[in-house]
């Protein structure tokens, strides 16, 4: 069936009206496929064709393709095929009254689709002095059965506009694909970075007979504290991923001290305390936010709110906030879980110790948060709690 049974050639005013009708639609569309449909519809109406299609070059497959040959599915043809291939090769338009009388006509499309091509126009799509495709109109409809030179001029007008618009869309889509690839690569790098940090944190626990999952429990508790403290999601994420580095400096502590079951001598305790400075030294030269925060946590998680901690005797807000948060999580986990030198404390005893340490060992506001949400925090350590479910604590016997 013809596109317009009783169509007559449009006047210049009607052509202008169609252009103004389509321009806002085209300007609002950024997807190449949708633009091809709009451009083909515009061309079909302006030159009064039964079918219009925009063929674009697929450089990877060395073919021409179109998704807007009206009434048919996607088509692909060799670069040299038919009138379209001729225009692509020569950069010249084609105006033919009877395709079957022209040796350049490729009949395979008609044979495949059952369509009968008669009159044909093609116009190269040129952008930046290169041909990127071909605009094709097939079978004039209405009172005139052949395309005219005026039709060819109008097709050229549409082709110039189409080429620039489609080229912009293709570039935008290419940039979008590139941006997505960069985003994927960035996520892959981030994941690799996080995995390395996790492994680095586990190095400090690997040599200890204590439960190696301590660092992950500290990370979980630190995340909860950071969230209730009101830190941004980005800051929460940073703390969660670098909290496992708090004891990284223990890689420099002898095994006989790390794994000693009894109380440490003053000399041994002095050596043990040096892990804070060792950890900070290992991380402080980093240029990344993650490891800079890791250096703060490793170096200051044994500082105390009242200034009596180590290694620098920092007091109050002199202590970096991530270290203050991690300190609470570290001590809570040390008391609530078994260690090589002690069994886990009872819940009441842990709660009382943490509560009494507010304002001396820990920032009071952080202890207020811990007490306000105690059941949520401590439920992690109970039978059936998160830590046992995640395999971060051995099941209660």
Spans of all domains in the chain: 12-178, 207-389
C-alpha neighbours within 13 Å on the C-beta side of residue 349? 9
Does residue 397 register a pLDDT over 60? Answer: no
Does residue 43 register a pLDDT over 80? Answer: yes
For residue 58, what are the β-bridge partners?
63
Q: Higher model confidence: residue 391 or residue 98?
A: 98
Write down the pTM of the prediction.
Answer: 0.59
**Which of the listed CATH numbers 1.10.3210.10, 2.40.340.10, 1.20.200.10, 1.20.120.50 matches domain 207-389?**
1.10.3210.10
**Rounded mean pLDDT of 269-289?**
90
CA Rg value for the chain: 37
DSSP state of 231: -
Does residue 237 register a pLDDT over 70? Answer: yes
**Rounded mean pLDDT of 13-42?**
84
Cis geometry, peptide bond prior to residue 311 (ω within 30 degrees of 0): yes
In our burial notation (b when 16+ CB lie closer than 10 A, e otherwise), range 54-87 reads bbbbeeeeebbbbbbbeebeebebebebbbbbbb
**Most confident segment among 83-87, 177-181, 253-257:** 83-87
Check for a shared fold between 12-178 and 207-389. no
Dump strand ranges (E) for the chain.
49-58, 63-66, 75-78, 94-96, 120-127, 130-140
pLDDT score at 314: 97
The residue from 140, 164, 185, 250 that is catalytic is 250
pLDDT score at 2: 37
Is 12-178 a domain of CATH 3.30.450.40? yes
pLDDT score at 108: 82
Query: If you average pLDDT over every residue of the chain, what do you get?
Result: 87
Does residue 3 register a pLDDT over 60? Answer: no
CA 244 to chain centroid, in Å, comes to 25
pLDDT score at 222: 97
Does residue 235 register a pLDDT over 90? Answer: yes
Q: Where are the alpha helices (DSSP H) in 94-213?
A: 108-113, 149-206
Structure-derived torsion over alpha carbons of residues 349, 351, 357, 358, reported in degrees to the nearest 10: -160
Q: Quick count: other Cβ atoms within 10 Å of Cβ 144?
A: 14
**Rounded mean pLDDT of 81-106?**
93
Q: Higher model confidence: residue 39 or residue 317?
A: 317
Does residue 200 register a pLDDT over 90? Answer: no
pLDDT score at 105: 93
pLDDT score at 394: 72
* Encoded tokens for 276: 């804070």
* Encoded tokens for 39: 């451009």
Does residue 1 register a pLDDT over 50? Answer: no
Q: Catalytic residue at 250?
A: yes
């Amino acid at each position: 069936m013809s596109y317009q049974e009783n169509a007559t050639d449009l006047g210049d005013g009607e052509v202008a009206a169609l252009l103004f009708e389509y321009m806002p639609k085209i300007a609002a569309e950024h997807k190449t496929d949708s633009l091809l449909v709009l451009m083909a519809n515009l061309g079909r109406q302006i030159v009064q064709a039964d079918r219009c299609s925009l063929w674009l070059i697929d450089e990877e497959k060395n073919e021409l393709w179109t998704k807007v040959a009206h009434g048919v599915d996607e088509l692909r043809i060799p670069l040299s095929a038919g009138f379209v291939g001729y225009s692509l090769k020569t950069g010249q338009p084609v105006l033919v009254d009877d395709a079957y009388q022209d040796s350049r006509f490729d009949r395979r499309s008609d044979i495949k689709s059952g369509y009968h091509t008669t009159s044909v126009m093609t116009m190269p799509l040129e952008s930046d002095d290169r041909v990127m495709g071909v605009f094709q109109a097939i079978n004039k409809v209405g009172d005139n059965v052949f395309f005219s030179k005026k039709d060819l001029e109008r097709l050229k007008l549409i082709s110039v506009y189409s080429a620039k618009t489609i080229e912009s869309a293709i570039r935008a889509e290419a940039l979008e694909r590139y941006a997505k690839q960069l985003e994927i690569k960035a996520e892959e790098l981030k994941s690799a970075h996080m995995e390395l940090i996790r492994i680095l944190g586990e190095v400090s626990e690997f040599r200890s007979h204590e439960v190696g999952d301590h660092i992950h429990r500290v990370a979980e508790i630190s995340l909860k504290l950071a969230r209730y403290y009101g830190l941004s999601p980005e800051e929460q994420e940073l703390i969660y991923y670098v909290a496992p580095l708090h004891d990284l400096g223990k890689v420099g502590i002898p095994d006989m001290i790390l794994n000693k079951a009894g109380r440490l001598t003053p000399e041994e305790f002095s050596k043990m305390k040096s892990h804070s400075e060792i950890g900070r030294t290992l991380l402080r030269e980093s240029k990344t936010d993650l490891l800079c925060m890791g250096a703060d946590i490793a170096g200051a998680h044994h500082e105390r709110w009242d200034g009596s901690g180590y290694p620098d005797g920092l007091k109050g807000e002199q202590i970096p906030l991530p270290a203050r948060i991690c300190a609470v999580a570290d001590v809570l986990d040390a008391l609530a879980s078994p260690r090589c030198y002690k069994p886990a404390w009872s819940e009441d005893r842990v709660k009382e110790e943490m509560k009494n340490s507010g304002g001396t060992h820990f920032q009071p506001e952080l202890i207020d948060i811990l007490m306000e949400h105690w059941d949520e925090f401590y439920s992690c350590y109970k039978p059936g709690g998160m830590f046992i479910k995640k395999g971060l604590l051995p099941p209660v016997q």
